[in-house]
């Protein structure tokens, strides 16, 4: 226990000091924070509940659009803003910007939660691969449809309000870094606290055998929807932050980007080890470092690498890093190992 507190304190201090230690990587670190949030929330469905969703991207994209729309719409007419495109006819004052951002993030988190609650009953009744394909369809449909709506920029995209001039050049990076770092801490605390309750056991029961869980008197549907709503809350928040960070929203390439973000979150959780608390965090970090390296040095081949990476991870490494560690050092995970049993296994190999 004592060791854990030291670990968390060290991570927290590192997280707070990171933008000053690596000033050149502030944007990358912010993106890493968003990726960790997405991986952690995907893990609630895919890892703990056994519902492999491609549809969390829906909440992410929704949050992105909502945050930007609220931020603009609070002070200026939205339609004229999107029509003017890159040429800024309206400029946010710093106060307006931060007020709008705060309001936008609240909306970006709350509305996707409500949406998840509303569609949860219909969608979560599907199981297995039907659920996976249905959520895949949901994400792509959202992207295609939002690409046809005029007021949020349709096909040409939506420019989010530029960061106001507050005197310091570093302010923008630091603001978004601490915003996303706060989101990570909030997500991690929430996820960690729900993983130590009965709720997690219920999710695991649903994963292992849903019919049996239902027969035991658990209202599985209720818990599935609550789980999805928690995911949606943080996905929406992450989307809102990412929208401000990127500065430009496109329906299929940034917001409802099933080909990138939608797959990344699945891949990160699987790479780290699904069904564990630390797996998604480790997976997201490893994946982000790999991705950035590849994106920088092999520009153009990144999707080829991504495709190969997906196939390799899924086929040869489905247990992830945490699963591999667990097999290697079972004692660290609190598993009792019988020496004779282990010897027998080694001999078998």
Location of structure tokens 């899924």 = 314
Tokens linked to 238:
């992450």
Q: Please, which residue, 201 or 304, has the CB nearer to other proteins?
A: 304
201 binds other proteins (CB under 8 A): no
Half-sphere exposure of 232 (CA within 13 A, CB side): 22
222 binds other proteins (CB under 8 A): no
Minimum distance, C-beta of residue 45 to other proteins, in the bound complex (Å): 12
22 binds other proteins (CB under 8 A): no
Half-sphere exposure of 134 (CA within 13 A, CB side): 14
Which segment (82-90, 179-187, 310-318, 321-329) binds other proteins by CB under 8 A? Answer: 310-318
Q: Which of 113, 347, 74 is nearest to 237 (CA)?
A: 113
314 binds other proteins (CB under 8 A): yes
Tell me if residue 317 falls in helix, strand or coil. Answer: coil
140 binds other proteins (CB under 8 A): yes
CB count in 10 Å sphere of residue 28: 14
Binding pattern to other proteins, positions 46-75, x when CB under 8 A? ------x-----------------------
Beta-carbon contacts of 202 under 8 Å, excluding residues fewer than 6 positions away, are 213, 218, 220, 223
Q: Which of 4, 5, 148, 339 binds other proteins (CB under 8 A)?
A: 148
Minimum distance, C-beta of residue 276 to other proteins, in the bound complex (Å): 18
Cα–Cα distance, 105 to 111 (Å, whole number): 10
127 binds other proteins (CB under 8 A): yes
307 binds other proteins (CB under 8 A): yes
Please list the residues that pair with 159 across neighbouring strands. Answer: 248
Q: Please, which residue, 23 or 137, has the CB nearer to other proteins?
A: 137
What does DSSP say about strands 248-249 and 158-159: parallel, antiparallel, or unpaired?
Answer: antiparallel
Binding pattern to other proteins, positions 238-277, x when CB under 8 A? ---------------------x---x--x---x-------
Crossing angle, helix 302-316 and helix 261-272, to 10 degrees?
40
151 binds other proteins (CB under 8 A): no
Cα–Cα distance, 63 to 105 (Å, whole number): 8
Number of residues that bind other proteins (CB under 8 A): 41
Q: Please, which residue, 19 or 50, has the CB nearer to other proteins?
A: 50
Question: Got the DSSP string for 206-267?
Answer: HHH-HHHHHHTT--HHHHHHHHHHHHHHHHHHHHHHHHHHH-EE-IIIIIT-TTTHHHHHHH
133 binds other proteins (CB under 8 A): yes
125 binds other proteins (CB under 8 A): yes
Q: Please, which residue, 110 or 263, has the CB nearer to other proteins?
A: 263
Tokens linked to 282:
């480790």
Which segment (61-69, 70-78, 135-143, 242-250) binds other proteins by CB under 8 A? Answer: 135-143
What is the binding site for other proteins (CB under 8 A)? 52, 122-123, 125-130, 132-134, 136-138, 140-141, 143-145, 147-148, 154-155, 259, 263, 266, 270, 300-301, 303-304, 306-311, 314-315, 318
């Amino acid at each position: 226990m004592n060791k854990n507190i030291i670990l968390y304190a060290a991570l927290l201090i590192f997280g707070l000091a990171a933008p000053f230690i690596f000033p050149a990587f502030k944007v990358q670190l912010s993106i890493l924070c968003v990726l960790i949030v997405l991986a952690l929330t995907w893990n609630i469905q895919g890892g703990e509940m056994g519902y492999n969703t491609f549809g969390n991207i829906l909440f992410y994209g929704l949050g992105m659009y909502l945050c930007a729309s609220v931020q603009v719409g609070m002070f200026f007419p939205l339609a004229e803003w999107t029509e003017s495109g890159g040429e800024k006819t309206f400029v946010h004052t710093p106060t307006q910007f931060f007020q709008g951002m705060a309001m936008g993030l609240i909306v970006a988190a709350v509305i996707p939660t409500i949406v998840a609650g509303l569609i949860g009953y219909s969608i979560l009744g599907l199981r297995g691969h039907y659920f996976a394909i249905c959520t895949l369809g949901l994400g792509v449909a959202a992207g295609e449809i939002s690409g046809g709506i005029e007021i949020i920029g349709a096909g040409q995209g939506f420019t989010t309000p530029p960061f106001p001039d507050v005197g310091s050049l570093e302010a923008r990076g630091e603001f978004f870094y601490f915003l996303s770092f706060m989101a990570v801490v909030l997500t991690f605390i929430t996820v960690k606290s729900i993983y130590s309750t009965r709720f997690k056991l219920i999710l695991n029961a649903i994963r292992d055998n849903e019919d049996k869980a239902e027969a035991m008197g658990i209202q599985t549907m209720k818990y599935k929807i609550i789980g999805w709503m928690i995911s949606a809350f943080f996905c929406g928040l992450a989307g809102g932050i990412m929208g401000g960070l990127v500065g430009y929203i496109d329906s299929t390439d940034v917001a409802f980007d099933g080909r990138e973000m939608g797959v990344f979150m699945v891949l990160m959780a699987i790479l780290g080890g699904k069904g564990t608390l630390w797996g998604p965090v480790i997976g997201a970090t490893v994946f982000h470092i790999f991705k950035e390296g590849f994106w920088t040095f092999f520009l153009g081949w990144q999707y080829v690498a991504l495709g190969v990476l997906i196939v390799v991870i899924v086929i040869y490494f489905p247990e992830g890093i945490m699963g591999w560690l667990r097999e290697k050092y079972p004692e660290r995970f609190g598993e009792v190992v019988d020496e004779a049993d282990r010897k027998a296994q080694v001999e078998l190999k």
